[in-house]
Amino acid sequence: MGSSTVSSSKLLFRQLFEKDSSTYTYLLADISHPDRSALLIDPVDKTVDRDLSLIKDLGLKLIYAMNTHVHADHVTGTGLIKSKVPSAKSVISKASGSKADLLIVPGDKIQIGNLFLEVRATPGHTLGCVTYVTGGGPDQPHPKMAFTGDALLIRGCGRTDFQGGSSEQLYKSVHSQIFTLPKETLIYPAHDYRGFTVSTVGEEMQYNPRLTKDEETYKSIMQNLNLPYPKMIDIAVPANMVCGLQDLTSKSS
């Protein structure tokens, strides 16, 4: 059995890619519900038109434009989406300190039709990182799907040297909030730089070159990555703290 397919009669799922920042944007919708409600996870400003035209083609109604965290490598599409689809609500964690229509906390459920996502706090890459996990129950997608942002990447993880990052915290987040999910849970990260699209909890528990190590080894790996200063951070972070509405904010202030 292939483990990278999800069985659910309700769920319409698309994984979309933005090549400059190697970002994945995810579209989820409940197509069994007459409203055909949909949400986007981690939309990018450059690909908003593509995403909205797909949503239109598929006859979906966009309810939520969500972020897993304050991105440092691209400007979120949520602000632009709101200007084009005024009824859509932007979503980010309260812990991120950002502005959005809906500030979510761990344990919150985000509902579209009869499908829902649960919020898990997975700080460490940034202070406000969350993982969105599809709900439990017979009518929800099986296996579960976890949208991990930059907390857990396929065979990697997000850096921990900016934005309130902490390798100690990220190690604990992944082990307590992601590796405790059923092993067949599908991992959908915010990025991939090598062409991978999906992994599973079991696969990362076995093969992730960083998070399979003990905590001390992990911390020293993270301290010695010698990564360059993120090239978009000075533009992206201030913009993303206001949901990508930086132009409107600076004009009105």
Q: Which positions touch Fe ion (CB under 5 A)?
A: 71, 150
What residues contact residue 81 under an 8 Å CB cut-off, 6+ apart?
40, 43, 48, 51, 52, 62, 65, 88, 90
Residue 154 CA to residue 156 CA, distance in Å, equals: 5
CA nearest 134: which of 143, 125, 122, 123?
143
Tell the smallest beta-carbon distance from residue 36 to Fe ion (Å). 30
Question: In the bound complex, which residue of the shown chain has the CB atom lying closest to Fe ion?
Answer: 150
Nearer CB in complex with Fe ion: 71/144: 71
Residue 65 CA to residue 116 CA, distance in Å, equals: 14
Residue 162 CA to residue 124 CA, distance in Å, equals: 10
Amino acid making up residue 225? L
Nearer CB in complex with Fe ion: 44/52: 44
Interstrand relation of 89-93 and 61-66 (parallel, antiparallel or unpaired): parallel
Tell the smallest beta-carbon distance from residue 68 to Fe ion (Å). 8
C-beta of residue 147 within 8 angstroms of C-beta of residue 197? no
Nearer CB in complex with Fe ion: 36/71: 71
Nearer CB in complex with Fe ion: 37/160: 160
Nearer CB in complex with Fe ion: 51/150: 150
Tell the smallest beta-carbon distance from residue 70 to Fe ion (Å). 8
Tell the smallest beta-carbon distance from residue 23 to Fe ion (Å). 9
Please state whether the peptide bond connecting residue 182 to the residue before it is cis, i.e. omega within 30 degrees of 0: no
Residue 147 CA to residue 68 CA, distance in Å, equals: 8
Tell the smallest beta-carbon distance from residue 86 to Fe ion (Å). 27
Nearer CB in complex with Fe ion: 141/149: 149
Tell the smallest beta-carbon distance from residue 164 to Fe ion (Å). 12
